[in-house]
Amino acid sequence: MNFVIREARDQDLSHLMHHRRKMFEEMGFRDPDVLNQVERISEGYFRAALRDRSYRAWLAEDATGAVVAGGGIVLANWPGFPRERCAKRAWILNMYTEPRARRQGLAKRLMDAMIEWCRQEGFASVSLHASPFGRPLYESMGFQQTNEMRLELR
């Protein structure tokens, strides 16, 4: 099947929200109250970030124009650090492919588009948090574990 990869627009917010919720559900988060809270918080963020371009997203459409996969990049202000030429960092997140469109290379194509965009924008690196589902793809593309740590506060 032929798929088109395109950059998301403001009117694609519902697709981003759907992908985010499904991604968390498939990672084992099943409590509807928790997912609804994530959705409420995320919707406001994505609405504003799409508008001010601090979040860039790419979507895959099938031959009928249906959105079947997507992923995005958070662009965060960040103090300068070695090897980086700008005071920003790029994080890939929200990767999701509808079950009916899996195993057709869409995640790789989306990753390629986002990585190329980061290169064109002058970023020296891009980061992501890998779920067990995505880790093999990311490793095959050259992503490596870093020294990032986290403290859970609740």
Query: What confidence tier does 81 reach under pLDDT thresholds 50, 70, 90?
Result: confident
For residue 152, the one-letter residue type is E
How much of the chain exceeds pLDDT 90, in percent?
A: 86
How much of the chain exceeds pLDDT 70, in percent?
A: 100
State the Cα–Cα distance between residues 2 and 62, nearest whole angstrom. 6
Neighbours of 71 (CB within 10 A): 29
Structural domains of the chain in order of their starting residue, each with its CATH number: 4-140 (3.40.630.30)
Query: What confidence tier does 149 reach under pLDDT thresholds 50, 70, 90?
Result: confident
Q: What is the DSSP letter of 129?
A: -
Q: Which pLDDT belongs to residue 17?
A: 97
Kindly give, in sequence order, each residue whose CB lies less than 8 Å from that of residue 68, ignoring residues fewer than 6 positions away.
3, 60, 61, 62, 97, 98, 100, 101, 106
Query: What confidence tier does 29 reach under pLDDT thresholds 50, 70, 90?
Result: very high
Quote the pTM value. Answer: 0.92
Query: What confidence tier does 14 reach under pLDDT thresholds 50, 70, 90?
Result: very high
Query: What confidence tier does 84 reach under pLDDT thresholds 50, 70, 90?
Result: confident
